[in-house]
Structure 1
Amino acid sequence: MKKIFKRTKSVNGIKRKNTTVVQNCSGLKKVKETLGGNDLKKAVKLPKNENINNWVTLHIVDFRNKIALFHGLLQNSCTSKSCPIMTAGNNLEYTWICNKKSQPQKLSAQSYINKLFQWTDEQINDESLFPNDPEKYLKKWQSKISYPIFRRLTRILGHIYHHHFQVIQKNGIEAHLNTLLLHFYLFTKEFSLLKKKDYLPILSIINELYAI
């Protein structure tokens, strides 16, 4: 992983302004230890006495930052010229929608992904959406708040795999990306955070790599 950190110093990782939730997540150490043992199915399980909202929030921040690291390697290969439209394979094209009243915007993959990271950061640092007190989370928080974040992050993973995997291979970090992909897939499946159709950007890759 040294190559990733060395070559992505300009990539900004998000740290929640309201850090109590993440800092107090008792399962964080357990996750890291389990990942070291390559047992991702155990890593995604909710630790005993851990709050589910804390657990999901921790992983939203973690996945966002790790995906940003990999995308940071693509500064020279993912440009408005090489990727004028946000796609994840030949059949999946995405437009950016700020809200329900706005018109869909066709953006380059780079612009789309940058907007997505900015939007995700704004969501995470909004106390009304991600409160420090786990008891104050909305009843439908997972479906209303976390769902669109995970859905959109899936699109970035799909774009990286379908259009820039050679760059990842040249840097010798495909194993790290594959581990991140599997971790993301198993976690979202464990807690039913995505719908079946939302896995389309990465489903063929998951099936090919892990035969799940």
Structure 2
Amino acid sequence: MSFFNSIGRSMTRSQRPKRSPTPTSATFSPSEMPPPQPPSPTITTPKPLYLSSPFVEAALVKGNFKTIVMLPKYVDIMEWVAVNIFDFYTNLNEFYGVIAECCNQQSCPKMSAGPALNYTWINQDRKSVHLAAPTYIDYVMTWVQNLLDDDNTFPTKAGHEFPPSFPSTVKHVYRQLLRVFAHIYHAHYHQILHLRSEPHFNSLFAHFLAFGREYELLEVKDVKGSSSAPVGVGQLWEAWRQMGILEG
């Protein structure tokens, strides 16, 4: 179901620099042939716990999450999105509150979401700055809470309509909440396991992903990241797709 008008972006593709031809045996005379190089050691990265069985299968809801994100009859789509945003924020905030003491300036000096991915915050000067994860998450949660409390953004009184900017606002909210999920999975999933809360947290995140894709609140590129800086939970997205939990 479409929730947003597509936003066109003009993008220019930079021309790739020309590469030097790869040397071959024909390039060198026998006396100039370089000595054989030993094979580079293979570095294997251990699989994250959240991708390992039985944790990747742990969930409270069985089957495809699409069935629980469909718009109910006679419910306004704006109201449906607003209510679900509130629930996702509330539940995620509660999970983070439980493990917050483990997320501090020393353990999480950056807002990481993968071995090569650190999120940056846009400050008041419109500059990207690195923040410690607890500071970044505090900024996100405070900002979302202020939006939810603002009746001009999330109207709760009869006769008050949603502003025209509501779709773009909730899309930005969704992107920031995704980053909080991604950091918890990357840096604190072992604490979730210690609390035996992995079925609850997995179900919350799968619901969040399914809802975001159903109403175009979430871009796949935000879930997966880039080839040079992949988001850790991008693999979890793929695993749940293969298991039939999420749609393609």
Interval of TM-score (by shorter of Structure 1 and Structure 2): 0.7 to 0.9
Moved over 4 A (4+): 35-39
Q: CA RMSD in A?
A: 2.1
Tell me which residue corresponds to 1:80.
105
Contact in 2 for aligned 1:54/1:134 (Cα 8 Å): no
Q: What SS does the corresponding residue of 1:131 show, helix, strand or coil?
A: coil
The structure-2 alpha-carbon separation of the partners of 1:102 and 1:41, relative to structure 1 and needing over 3 Å to count, comes to: same
TM-superposed deviation, 1:106: 1.6
1:136 paired residue number: 161
Label 1:38 to 1:115 Cα distance change in 2 as closer, same or farther (>3 A). same
Q: Which ranges of structure 2 fall in alignment gaps of 5 or more residues?
A: 1-59, 225-230
Tell me the amino acid that sits aligned with residue 120 of structure 1. Answer: V
Provide the TM-score with structure 2 as the length reference.
0.65
Residue 34 of structure 2: aligned partner: none
Report the equivalent of 1:168. Answer: 192
Pairing of 1:173-212 with structure 2 (within 5 A): 173-200=197-224, 201=231, 202-211=233-242, 212=246
Q: Is the 8 A contact 1:150 1:194 kept in 2?
A: yes
Deviation at 1:72, TM superposition (A): 1.5
- TM normalised by structure 1 equals 0.76
SS of residue in 2 equivalent to 1:158: helix
Identity %: 31
Higher relative contact order (CA 8 A, sep 6+): 2
Residue 149 (structure 2) pairs with residue 125 (structure 1): yes
More helix, by proportion: 1
User: 1:155: Cα distance to partner?
Assistant: 0.5
Secondary structure class of the residue paired with 2:128:
coil
Which secondary structure does the structure 2 equivalent of 1:93 belong to?
A: strand
- Structure 1 residue 67 corresponds to structure 2 residue 92: yes
- Please list every run of 5 or more consecutive structure 1 residues that lacks an aligned counterpart in the other structure: 1-34
